[in-house]
Structure 1
Amino acid sequence: MTKKTALIIGASGLVGKRLVQQLLQDERYEKITALVRTPLEIKHEKLTQTRYDFNWPNADLAIGDELFCCLGTTIKKAGSQAAFRKVDYDYIVETAKIALANGAKKIAVVSSMGADKDSSIFYNRIKGETEAALQKLSYEACYILRPSLLMGARDELRMGELVGKLFMTAFAFAVPNKYKGIEGKQVAKAMIAIMNSNKVGFQIFESDALRTF
């Protein structure tokens, strides 16, 4: 079996941390490279953590057979809509272009339920614009994951998510499967399974589909 290298951005987030942990246990991958601003606490012989400035990207650092993108922020944390767009659109699309030029064949991206480049909702519109930009790149396969509310412990408190999680927990019986909250570790598991599928081209996976992996 040919061993692969994985390149990750957004490794410090809810899905990203679980993704790193699962990839380190996956025998199909011999090297995991995480482009980070602040190193993770985890250490492993297969893991290389590379400090990376997304505002001034060093193309020589973004190298891997497959690019896993878990990068994302909130408008509150970013400070403005412009700053949010820089993270959720510019950083993702630019890294995807660099990784592709460096030989990456596949990309998997955590987007969001409701992503739509024509949406009147700013958050959904930026997510949709990012998806549309990635679709234009010449990857052999581009996988878009659209989870619903992400469940699991974060390092930061997101009040909107906290309220949503409480609602989801209390009324789970009444919420359609597509809209139920989904654990970050399950999204990471699905991400790896999808990346190792034989599907090619531009593929979208909604939240209910992510539960099946």
Structure 2
Amino acid sequence: MNMGEKTALILGSSGLIGNELVQILIEQNNYKKIHLLLRRPIAISDSRCEVHIVDFDQLEKYPELFKVTDVFCCLGTTIKKAKSKEAFRKVDYVYPIEAAKLAVQGGAEKFLIVTAMGANSESFFFYNQVKGEVERSLKSLNIPSLNIFRPSLLLGERNEFRLGEKMAEKASRFLNNLMVGPLRSYRAIQAKSVAKAMSAIAASNKNGINIFQSNEIQRIADKH
């Protein structure tokens, strides 16, 4: 498909990675239309971007929006912000799976999603368990090109203040220099690097199921 004919849909475009991804896709000019699914309006001036205010609990009401070339899922929250495990699971599992099903029905070629390092459905940690479950369920769908990105600690300017992550971010600037060899994959990574890697893979010819660990994400970002 000619790059100028491609269309994209982004879930989570107001978040840390999603916001960076929107800017990168605009700059690259590979898509004639970029649909942004959001709970509330945001200010964006590029004419190729179309904001859709939707009820994520009823995504099945918007099948037409998923008739795109590539679907990017950057949804994610924390249990603290979600207030409960059930609410967390809804954002990090239910919404992505529903979006993926609609993407398949709509004929999307690629589905690209951010999970997390340590994603494992058998994990004792609820966060990693849910991330692993969403990966497992996505693999069972008939997605032509499923691309899973597992970043380590994300760095970048968030809309909300998170004390724990701010402290970890400061520590990571020192620790990253010590993480070499097998430990390299545990280095903290900039949200912009994850977004760059996602856009690069979207522009590639990769098919099937592809999983990118944090160090691989960084390597791809550095090349683009």
TM-score range, shorter chain: over 0.9
Equivalent of residue 35 in structure 2, options 5, 22, 33? 33
Task: Give the structure 2 partner of residue 127 of structure 1.
Answer: 131
Q: Does 1:165 align with 2:172?
A: no
Aligned AA (1:199): K
Task: Give the structure 2 partner of residue 21 of structure 1.
Answer: 23
Task: Give the structure 1 partner of residue 216 of structure 2.
Answer: 209
Instruction: Please state which structure has a larger fraction of its residues in helix.
Output: 2
- Is this contact kept in 2: 1:172–1:180, CA < 8 A? yes
Aligned to 2:86, what secondary structure does the other structure show? helix
Per the normalisation by structure 1, the TM-score is 0.96
Per the normalisation by structure 2, the TM-score is 0.92
Identity across the alignment (%): 44
Aligned AA (2:43): E
Note the aligned Cα RMSD (angstroms): 1.1
CA distance in 1, matches of 2:125, 2:109: 32
The alpha carbon displacement at 1:12 in A equals: 0.5
Aligned AA (2:76): G
- Is this contact kept in 2: 1:35–1:62, CA < 8 A? no
Task: Give the structure 2 partner of residue 185 of structure 1.
Answer: 192
The alpha carbon displacement at 1:167 in A equals: 1.2
CA distance in 1, matches of 2:74, 2:99: 12
Equivalent of residue 95 in structure 1, options 96, 99, 104? 99
Count of aligned residue pairs for this structure pair: 213
CA distance in 1, matches of 2:94, 2:29: 32
Q: Does 1:112 align with 2:116?
A: yes
CA distance in 2, matches of 1:158, 1:26: 31
- Is this contact kept in 1: 2:9–2:65, CA < 8 A? no
Aligned to 2:45, what secondary structure does the other structure show? coil
